[in-house]
Amino acid sequence: MTQRVLLWYRNDLRVADHEALHRAVGSGAQILPVYIDCCTPDRYELPGNPVIPGFRRKFRLESLRALDQQWRDWKSSLVVMTGDPAEVIPQLCAKYQINAVLLNAESSHDEARQYAQVAQQLQSANVACNVFHGAPLIHPDDLPFALRDLPDIFTQYRKIVEARLFVRACFPTPTAVQALPHTEALFEPHFPETIADVRSALPFHGGEPAGQARLHDYVWKSDQLRIYKETRNGLIGTDYSSKFSAWLAAGCISPRQVFHEVRRYESERVANDSTYWMIFELLWRDYFRLVMEKFGTALFSIDGISRRRTHRSWGRNAADFQAWVSGNTGNRFIDANMRELLLTGFMSNRGRQNVASYFVHELGLDWRLGAQYFEEALVDYDVYSNWGNWAYLAGVGNDPRENRRFNITRQADVYDPAGSYQKLWLD
């Protein structure tokens, strides 16, 4: 009897550099590709029930539609179900006589909990569950230390890793796949009502083809990688930074793909501070993943992973929170950034640092509420980087300093000296 495997997609919505898919194809099994749309409960209730833009949902649905098209090219389609994975996956396994479930690992608490529940159900049904490491830049087996010895400060981590940096080659895109015929309804996404803003710095669509196109255009066609370090703190336009983050968050492209494209660029065009800085940012992204794996739900606690009590009273004032969300604080630089987020689902890295600092240090609000809002509003939301960065700015994360407070006026003068960005979003 031919082996039948269920390929469980989560935040890895691609077919290239996908280890679980690669192993499934290599086994000669018939493959049932599955994505489960499961809502996890909010960690904290946001004051005033703010309106949440639907751009991330739209980007995810576009990514699923693109993945579905990939599977249709292989004479199949993506099975998209809604519900609890611990219920849906065992039901599908029973219906299609599945022998094994294959998936790429996630380190976050919610995904790890879901997997544990699914694995428990599958064990009782004698269905094997095989997990691969398809998300990190550096494979866990190639790290020069055990997880328990992960340095608590990024610079220490970076120096150790850079001394012997090794990134495995990408897995090839399958040329032929044995798809398991199924009777589930074909995937037809319903897009939420979101209107694209012509000012958006992220006017792109979700999906692996769009992510690959952006990678090629940014690195090779426009040659923007050459000046990435000089432009990465920009505020207006599509090319001041790579904008890879949304596709990385959904797994439409992998960090290894970006890394090896940068290395090829360095070999064929130029290696400079900008190419190094792109890899530097990929290391930060990997580091936050490891931090959450090491500390677990501690990252969501009010004291973060700092192991020290914060000597302050964190507020939950609804009026202040709503003013921040809607871009009505009265600080033009902060308001411009928050309006951009509300209207596009995106904000620059420089903007995120400033609005987080303002939220924590000027408004005195509970940093976790800001992180929760970003979780719901950002197109490129990534649980590891989002919560790691917010904890960092709040002084309860991977930072030896407790008070990382930004001078907002000076930041606006440096990064928006003519006020062009503020005028774009406020006037």
According to the model, what pLDDT value does residue 400 have?
A: 59
CATH classification at residue 289: 1.25.40.80
Name the domain boundary from 117, 135, 153. Answer: 135
Place of tokens 């569950």: 129
According to the model, what pLDDT value does residue 307 have?
A: 67
Rounded to whole angstroms, the Cα distance separating 257 from 248 reads 10
The DSSP string of 370-423 is: HHHHHHHH-TT--HHHHHHHHHHHHTSSS-S-S-----HHHHHHHHSTT-HHHH
At 376, list the tokens. Answer: 């719901």
According to the model, what pLDDT value does residue 1 have?
A: 57
Q: Is the pLDDT of residue 311 over 60?
A: no
CATH classification at residue 384: 1.10.579.10
In a domain, 202, yes or no: no
In a domain, 94, yes or no: yes
Buried b (16+ CB within 10 A) or exposed e, 324-359: bbebebebbbbbbbbbbbbbbbbbbbbbbbbbbbbb
Query: For the segment 146-185, what is each residue's pLDDT rounded down to a tens digit?
Result: 999 999 899 999 999 999 999 999 999 999 999 999 989 8
According to the model, what pLDDT value does residue 92 have?
A: 97
Q: Is the pLDDT of residue 310 over 90?
A: no
Same domain, 272 and 325: no
| Average pLDDT taken over every residue of the chain | 94
In a domain, 191, yes or no: no
Strand 100-104's sheet: what is its strand order?
Answer: 79-82, 30-37, 4-9, 100-104, 128-132
Query: For the segment 70-101, what is each residue's pLDDT rounded down to a tens digit?
Result: 999 999 999 999 999 999 999 999 999 999 99
Query: For the segment 323-351, what is each residue's pLDDT rounded down to a tens digit?
Result: 999 999 999 999 999 999 999 999 999 99
Note the residue count of the chain.
Answer: 427
According to the model, what pLDDT value does residue 190 have?
A: 78
Rounded to whole angstroms, the Cα distance separating 245 from 363 reads 28
According to the model, what pLDDT value does residue 138 have?
A: 97
Query: For the segment 236-267, what is each residue's pLDDT rounded down to a tens digit?
Result: 999 999 999 999 999 999 999 999 999 999 99
Name the domain boundary from 269, 294, 319. Answer: 294
Same domain, 334 and 213: no
Same domain, 354 and 390: yes
Same domain, 312 and 422: yes
Same domain, 251 and 290: yes
Query: For the segment 42-52, what is each residue's pLDDT rounded down to a tens digit?
Result: 788 899 889 88
According to the model, what pLDDT value does residue 45 have?
A: 87
Average pLDDT over residues 13-27: 97
Same domain, 309 and 219: no
Same domain, 24 and 126: yes
Same domain, 352 and 389: yes
Same domain, 20 and 91: yes
Name the domain boundary from 261, 294, 327. Answer: 294
Q: What is the DSSP letter of 298?
A: G
According to the model, what pLDDT value does residue 192 have?
A: 73
Same domain, 253 and 343: no
According to the model, what pLDDT value does residue 207 have?
A: 98
Same domain, 257 and 378: no
Which of 223-227, 299-303, 342-346 comes out lowest in average pLDDT? 299-303
CATH classification at residue 94: 3.40.50.620
According to the model, what pLDDT value does residue 313 have?
A: 78
Which of 19-23, 378-382, 391-395, 409-413 comes out lowest in average pLDDT? 391-395
Range of the domain at 380: 301-426
Rounded to whole angstroms, the Cα distance separating 223 from 46 reads 42
Interacting residues of 412 by C-beta distance below 8 A, sequence separation 6+? 332, 333, 419, 422
Rounded to whole angstroms, the Cα distance separating 363 from 271 reads 43
In a domain, 178, yes or no: no
In a domain, 187, yes or no: no
Query: For the segment 347-401, what is each residue's pLDDT rounded down to a tens digit?
Result: 999 999 999 999 999 999 999 999 999 999 999 999 999 999 999 999 898 875 6
In a domain, 96, yes or no: yes
Same domain, 115 and 38: yes
Mutual orientation of helices 367-377 and 383-394 as an angle, nearest 10°? 150
Count of the separate structural domains present in the chain: 3
At 15, list the tokens. Answer: 């077919």
In a domain, 155, yes or no: no
In a domain, 333, yes or no: yes
pTM here is 0.96
